[in-house]
């Protein structure tokens, strides 16, 4: 069945450091891939998405590229800020199904 | 502004009582979902509905019930049969259901605490 595996946390970085959060997936068909962000006590917000192989999703300085050959969708940001501290979830959905599959989340803390 | 509202933000319940969590969306989305989130963990699907008057069990439906009488509303009842109901509950929706890869949008969540 479909599944998402993402990097274990927590991750702690200094401000302006480079961020990578790894995400790999298993899917039976051609999924769409997503990154969501959750701030403390809030719901999930869509950060970026990609719907087909080699697509790059980007938003607020974050980027992720849909790599079919490695079944990956790693999240990157060149220079993190304290305000990026949150939990990040990788997710997928397929047009052959009716559910979303989420990773377990990666907690990021950015220190000044 | 379109979106998903969940009420209340915080809910306290005594053991043995049923409680209903509200979820309303004005996005005109067909599909709606309920998830449970425990501290430090990912999301687990409780129930989902692709269309009015129809819903399916997710991975952890035991002790929960839902209804979908209107397109915009998908309330979740946590019954006394749910053994460990204290958690953060998230409602979500997508524009279309089966056969689509539409983005899932989330409400702000309800934190339920059983005393």
**Chain A within 8 Å of B48 (Cβ-Cβ)?**
yes
Mutate to test the interface with A, among B42, B102, B109 (most CBs of A within 10 A): B42
Report angle CA B68, B60, B91 to the nearest 5 degrees.
45
Torsion over CA: B83, B85, B89, B92 (sign):
positive
- Closest-CA distance of chain A to residue B80, Å: 25
**Chain A within 8 Å of B113 (Cβ-Cβ)?**
no
Enumerate the β-bridge partners of residue B17.
none
H or E stretch including B87?
Answer: strand B87-94
Provide the pLDDT for residue A39. 95
Question: Which chain A positions have a beta carbon within 8 Å of B102's beta carbon?
Answer: 93
User: What b/e string do you get for A48-80 counting C-beta neighbours within 10 Å, with b at 16 or more?
Assistant: bbbeeeeeebeeeebbbbbbeeebbbbbebeeb
The fraction of chain B above a pLDDT of 90, given in percent, is 80
**Residue-by-residue pLDDT tens, chain A, 112 positions:** 889 999 888 999 999 999 999 999 999 888 999 999 999 989 999 999 999 999 999 999 999 999 999 999 999 999 999 999 999 999 999 877 678 899 999 999 999 9
Task: Judge: B90–A44 Cβ closer than 8 Å, yes or no.
Answer: yes
Choose among A34, A46, A102: nearest Cβ to B43: A102
Say if residues A85 and A110 touch (Cβ distance below 8 Å).
Answer: yes
| pLDDT exceeds 90 at position B67 | yes
User: Which of A24-33, B81-90, B98-107 has the lowest average pLDDT?
Assistant: B98-107
Provide the pLDDT for residue A29. 84
- Closest-CA distance of chain A to residue B97, Å: 6
Provide the pLDDT for residue A97. 66
């Amino acid at each position: 069945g479909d599944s998402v595996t993402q990097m274990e946390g927590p991750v702690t970085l200094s401000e302006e450091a480079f961020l990578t959060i790894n995400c790999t997936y298993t899917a039976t068909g051609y999924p769409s891939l997503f990154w969501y962000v959750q701030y403390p006590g809030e719901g999930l917000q869509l950060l970026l998405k990609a719907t087909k192989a080699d697509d790059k999703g980007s938003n607020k300085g974050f980027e992720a590229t849909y790599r079919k050959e490695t079944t990956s969708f790693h999240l990157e940001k060149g220079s993190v800020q304290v305000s990026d501290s949150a939990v990040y979830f990788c997710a997928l959905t397929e047009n052959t199904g009716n559910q979303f599959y989420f990773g377990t989340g990666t907690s990021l803390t950015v220190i000044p | 502004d379109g979106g998903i509202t969940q009420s209340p933000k915080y809910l306290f319940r005594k053991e043995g009582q049923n409680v209903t969590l509200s979820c309303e969306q004005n996005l005109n989305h067909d599909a709606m979902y309920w998830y449970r989130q425990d501290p430090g963990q990912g999301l687990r699907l409780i129930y989902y509905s692709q269309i009015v008057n129809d819903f399916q069990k997710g991975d952890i439906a035991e002790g929960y019930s839902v209804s979908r009488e209107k397109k915009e509303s998908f309330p979740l009842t946590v019954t006394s049969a749910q053994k460990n109901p204290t958690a953060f509950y998230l409602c979500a929706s997508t524009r279309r259901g089966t056969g689509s890869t539409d983005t899932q949008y989330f409400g702000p969540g309800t934190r339920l605490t059983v005393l």
